[in-house]
Each structure stands twice: as C-alpha cells, then as structure tokens.
Amino acid sequence: WLQNLTVGVFSCFRGHSNAISDCCFTSDGRYLCTASWDKSLKIWDIKTGEFQSRGPVTLSQGHEGSVSSCCFSQDASLVVSGGYDNAIAIWETDAAYKKLSLKGHWDWVTDVAISESKKWILSASKDSTLRLWNIEKMEHIPSVIESRKEKGSRIAQCEECERPFLSLQHGDSEVISKCVFCRLSSPARSILPLPPSIPPDL
C-alpha cells in the first residue's frame, strides 16, 4: 500500500501470490520493488502507472525459497535480493535478468545493500554475520574459488576493460572473454554457475 496521510490510500498493488517481505524505492522514486514469499520480486513503475494496465515486471527463478529482502542500486540498473535459500541474487533491472548469485551464508539472508559504485554488496544473515562481497574481484569469493579448483582456471585479459581476471575452463563451453564486472554491464552474458558446496570461511 502507498498511503497519503491527507487524502488516504493512494494506490493498492496486487500481484504477488504470497506475503510481501520487503520493498524499496529507486532514488528518484519512480520505481518500487517488492520481495515476496512467492519466490519472486516485482518492479512497479509508480511514475507512469503502467503496471495498472500491463502488470509489474516480475523477477523470478532467482531464489529456491522465499525472497526476504531487496535493494536498488543508486542508478536503478541493478536490484539485489536476499533469500531464505541463504543466497544473494543480483538482477539487471531493464532485462529482468539474474546476472549473478552469491552463496556463503549458512542461514537465511535478512538484508542486502549495494554501494553507489556497484562494486560492493553487503549482506546480513540470521547466521549472525555480515558479508561484504567485491563483485569486481570474484576470484576472492570462496564459492567461485572452489568451482575453479574443480574445473581448472587460467588468467585472461578482459577484452572490454583490459584488466586481468581468473577465467574458468569448462572444456566444451565457450571461452569467457570478459571479467565479471564487464559481464554485469552486459545483459547478454551471465556469471558461471556456482558449485554445490560452499567452503566455511570467507
């Protein structure tokens, strides 16, 4: 609900099939994001009211369980969400596309935040820890390191920003030519899948 204390209820938003656990606005107030126990997020265009005729944009298949929290980046290009599956998902807003998953918490994620530069993700969890993720340096995240140990890796140079990065070798998969940060800026690419097991230490 959005409520104006002078004139009463301004608008009622319906679309989720279960309880809404969190919501947030973009910095300019145009968009509203809602997170729900129905395992999805929805983005509502408040300025144009387009959702009233076409419905909200749905972000789904990013969490295996209920979504507990959500946060827009400063420029509204990304949405970060936390879930009861102990994971953090990073979404590209325009394409409604999950670009990255972060796993490392041992209990559900209670809150998430993203820095203005979009370099840092902060997550809070019921496991009594805060975790700060540098998504420019994915090689330092244990879950990604574990995957590379199993499948092999090499140092490559990003074709876009020319910075060196650690690239996975999958045998029959295509060669990755961009670093994580540049792939986050491209709707056509995604981050490699995470391993099934997560090491205990950051």
The pLDDT tens digits of the residues spanning 122-144 come to 999 999 888 889 887 766 565 54
Nearest alpha carbon to residue 112 among 59, 69, 66, 75: 69
φ, ψ at 113 (rounded to 5°): -150, 155
End-to-end Cα, the chain, rounded Å: 39
The residue that leads in pLDDT, 179 or 189, is: 179
Q: What is the pLDDT of residue 191?
A: 42
The residue that leads in pLDDT, 182 or 117, is: 117
Tell me how far apart the alpha carbons of residues 190 and 99 are, in angstroms, rounded to a whole number: 5
**pLDDT of 175 above 80:** no
Q: How confident is the prediction for the chain on average, in pLDDT?
A: 76
The residue that leads in pLDDT, 138 or 106, is: 106
**pLDDT of 56 above 90:** no
Q: Which range scores top for mean pLDDT: 45-59, 99-113, 181-195?
A: 99-113
pTM: predicted TM-score of the whole model, two decimal places? 0.62
Cβ-contact 20, 35 below 8 angstroms = yes
